[in-house]
Amino acid sequence: MSRSGKSGKLDEHFLMRLSANFQDIFNYFHTLYPLRNDVWDHLERLVNVLIDKYLERDKDLKLVDKKREGDPNWILSQELVGMMLYVDRFAGDLKGLKDKLGYLEELGVNLVHLMPILKCPEKNNDGGYAVSDYRSINPAIGTMEEVKALAKDFKKKDMVLMMDLVLNHTSNQHEWAQKAREGDPKYQGYYYFFNDRTVPDQFEQSLPQVFPESAPGNFTYIEDVNKWVMSVFHNYQWDLNYTNPEVFIEMLDIILYLSNQGIDILRLDALAFMWKKVGTTSQNLWEAHLLIKTFKSCVRVGAPGTLFLAEAIVAPDEIIKYFGEVQTTSNECDLAYNATLMTLLWDTVATKNNRLLWSTMHNVPHKPMGATWLNYVRCHDDIGLGYEDQHAEWAGYSPWHHRQFLINFMVGNIDWSFGRGRKFMEDKVKGDARISGSLASLAGLERALVEKDKDAEALALQRIVMLHSIIVSYGGIPMLYAGDELARINDYSFEEDPSLSYDNRWMHRPKMDWKQADLRKKKSTVEGKVFTELQKLIKIRKKQKAFADSEVRHLVDCHNQHLLAYVRGEGNKRVFVVVNLNDHPEELKMDMMFHLGFDMKKGVKDLYSGAELDFSGYKYTLDPHQFIWIIQQ
């Protein structure tokens, strides 16, 4: 069976996968579009897209598909360590990135997330998240041919390549939007167009605002056609209308096209917003989950080696749903950002205790066994304080007052706080805000350097390494943010650029300074100290099977709120992780070691330092922000 004009052929693997997944595809698709007379025509077109894109798929990628199908838990390996970066700010362009792969390998990174690289307007592009062409790369960065070549280089080095795919909206400069603006009813049907404000006003009753300061409202008037279009993020980002099956099929074609370029993981941006319904927040609706299930079932047929990452920065109970409801594997996304852990880590920095982390992580539902988290301390975006009020109350806090404390701490509005962040999208009515700022500046390094306080500098560096030690050992894939391995502080040059100055998130999106990066080779420098420590963390992680996400993890109560503790693995291979969150020494009682079944007569060792731990006096004292990875001698 083959289709004319295609170089490949349909093999038994494709036909078996189509047979195994077709019932799900049919059921999902028919549930999404139950009342359409043309649903069968669209379903036929969907299958033809699967066939066409599979026939275009390189044989090397089909071999990768086969290998990953045989080892579906490859994504759980402790050997995976990631970094997210802007290609232009990190290396100039794709050619420059290829030249810098040695730097990533030196650190130990083997999974790279390329921040938005698809074609977008020079202005009004939301940092690349307003896509004008899904099949072209931003010319300033390179070409799709260079992406395909880079993907081949990655596979030769056993590295994993991830890129962004914005599913919820396009730029108003996209071909579909341009045709809609010209009055083409077919392409107006690709978006949410309305003749007057009646329906938009109904939506606005329950729709929250993503950017209330810079982009208030959720609809934009298009004078050319005298209509309103939904634009939840910015007025130049038009929301796609997935109630139209043609939109689904167009985006499926794009997903498979990008997979065919060699992309291993697609980061699905803003997927929580994909289905709109009057009278709701139009976030996390069951139809949005059904859309992802349908995409996933289709990809299992045409490109099973390609995985999905959920970009859903929502409450813990909602994040977990983007893995799907299957316990042994995922029928939606294979990975998700552990935004909850990230928020809680910054809470521990401010409070120096584990109370909110403990009350929250004990109440986060379990993920499917075959899926995994991306754990991170910092990313390109702002930091939202998205913990549950109930969890804060269980930790002994007033939720509103605690958020006020955290915001003021992180922006340095408290005399003793060392944070040097800035408020982002402040809601003065609710007293809420998100936080911008680099990891190093939020962790106190910027203040220490400005004040030339060596003691504070040492504490800040310990804090930075401590935070990374948690994401490396906690369970999931640690994801570093480019520049954090060098302790880059806030870059205020964005204020001088009119195209960036309106958005203070650019303060933590600095261009890579490769002369500064060279300082990593001198261990006496700030850069050298942090780079060397992170390099060591990663090296140990990769050799320690207990850190794989297939291994168990459970939190341990050390009866000391300043200690974060958890066990990874089981039996003789387990690792007991203890972290001092405080900037003062704290004690770990030997009773805890007996309780966990360690044989203290044989002695215990710190996997990280290599030193035998001295529990004379029936306790071990951890220095400020020290962490120990305890194993049996």
Alpha carbon of 624 to those of 133, 366, 537: distances in Å?
Answer: 50, 32, 18
Q: Which helix (H) or strand (E) holds 132?
A: none
- The answer to whether 453 is a known catalytic residue is no
Interior/surface letters 568-590, b for 16+ CB within 10 angstroms, e for the rest: bbeeeebbbbbbbbbbeebbbbb
CA distance 76 to 372: 6
Structure tokens at 489: 């502080």
CA distance 308 to 334: 5
The alpha carbon torsion through 82, 86, 87, 92 (nearest 10 deg) reads -130
H helix runs in 12-143, sequence order: 12-32, 39-56, 59-70, 87-91, 94-99, 101-107
- Of 261, 238, 247, the residue nearest 171 (C-alpha): 238
Alpha carbon of 107 to those of 253, 317, 485, 537: distances in Å?
Answer: 36, 34, 9, 10
CA distance 308 to 268: 7
DSSP string across 307-331: EEEEE----HHHHGGGG-S-SSS-S
∠117-122-126 over CA atoms, to 5°?
Answer: 65
Q: Provide the sign of the torsion angle of the four alpha carbons 211, 217, 223, 229, taken in this order.
A: positive
Interior/surface letters 82-101, b for 16+ CB within 10 angstroms, e for the rest: bbbbbbbbbbbbbebbbebb
Structure tokens at 440: 């190093």
H helix runs in 500-589, sequence order: 514-518, 526-543
CA distance 160 to 158: 7
Q: Provide the sign of the torsion angle of the four alpha carbons 406, 409, 414, 416, taken in this order.
A: positive
Choosing from 88, 164, 239, 311, the catalytic residue is: 311
- Of 351, 429, 341, the residue nearest 386 (C-alpha): 341
- The answer to whether 311 is a known catalytic residue is yes
- Strand ranges inside 422-495, DSSP E: 422-427, 432-436, 477-481
CA distance 263 to 306: 7
Q: Are 604 and 616 in contact (CB under 8 A)?
A: no
CA distance 28 to 245: 12
First to last CA, the chain: 61
Q: Are 268 and 259 in contact (CB under 8 A)?
A: no
Choosing from 88, 264, 269, 533, the catalytic residue is: 269
| Catalytic machinery residues | 269, 311
